[in-house]
Amino acid sequence: MDNSYYKIMALDYGDTRIGIALSDLTRIIAGGYENYKRVSLETDLNHIKDIIIANNVKKLIIGLPLNMNGQDSNQSIKTREFAKEIEKKLNIIPEFYDERLTSKLAEKVLISANISREKRKNLVDKMSATIILQNYLDTKN
């Protein structure tokens, strides 16, 4: 890819919600974008497509929740299937990023910020996506 300005998006895929984070245009800093409540595969993909178009996203990272031994978990298999649908319908090839322990770290960050349990439940996916994206950006810069 060239040095033009574009953003990278990260997804923390779940059965109920998808955490979404975007980089800045220089691809140095990750920021939480949204904690999206899933509706249906088609609606979810259209929502992600709209964000990609509106924010000039050229790369998509999806957190892959592997088991601690590095093997696929039930959720990582679902995540891979979702990624195939993204590739097919949105014409963007997602890149996976190992997200083991990301949700626990996100929970700790939110607890340390004195966020109530109820609010944490609604923020943890977006925070996880932000951590996944920041870790990805840090390894690429």
Domains (range + CATH), the chain = 7-140 (3.30.420.140)
pLDDT given for residue 69 in this prediction: 83
Examine the pLDDT at 33 and tell me if it is beyond 80: yes
Examine the pLDDT at 100 and tell me if it is beyond 80: no
Q: What is the mean pLDDT of the chain?
A: 88
84 three-state secondary structure: helix
Please tell me which residue, 58 or 125, carries the higher pLDDT value.
Answer: 58
The pTM of the full predicted model, rounded to 2 decimals, is 0.87
Reference 11, options 101, 82, 88; nearest CA is: 82
CA atoms within 13 A on the CB side of 122: 4
Please tell me which residue, 37 or 141, carries the higher pLDDT value.
Answer: 37
- Helices 74-90, 41-54: crossing angle, 10 deg rounding: 60
> Could you give the residue ranges of the DSSP H alpha helices within the chain?
41-54, 74-90, 102-112, 117-140
